[in-house]
Amino acid sequence: MPKIDMPPGALVLLILRVLRAGPLHGYAIAQRIHALSAEVLRVEEGSLYPALQKILLKGWVTAEWGTSETNRKVRFYELTAAGRKQLEAELDGYDRVNEAIQAVLRTA
């Protein structure tokens, strides 16, 4: 199957949405997105960790060191109250754009 690129900004939305269910480490976030997308979306380390750092600096997530299920030292990311608020804003924006695109596709 050909590689499908995510639209700009989608990765942050997906990370925030996946973290809504609870804290996860980076690899688990990537795996969760891959699984929930029916294995269509693949998140590479080169884009995941810069996105996590960006949302960490914005205060949308916190991070704590811990041990993974495979006994490795990893950073667990958890959504903050500000992150939940940002997630809602991101979802609203996504819905508006998606509806607009669908309207053009239906009527053009």
Q: Is residue 4 part of a domain?
A: no
Question: Is 3 inside any structural domain?
Answer: no
pLDDT digits (tens, 9 = 90+) for 28-53: 999 999 999 999 999 999 999 999 99
Mean pLDDT of the chain: 93
Q: Determine contact, residues 73/65, Cβ cutoff 8 Å.
A: yes
In a domain, residue 85? The reply is yes
Amino acid at 72: R
- The number of distinct structural domains making up the chain is 1
Does residue 2 lie within any of the structural domains? no
In a domain, 1, yes or no: no
Q: For residue 34, what is the domain's CATH number?
A: 1.10.10.10
Give me the count of residues in the chain: 108
Please give the residue range of the domain that contains residue 41.
10-107
**Domain assignment present for 39:** yes
Q: Taking the model in full, what pTM does it have?
A: 0.90
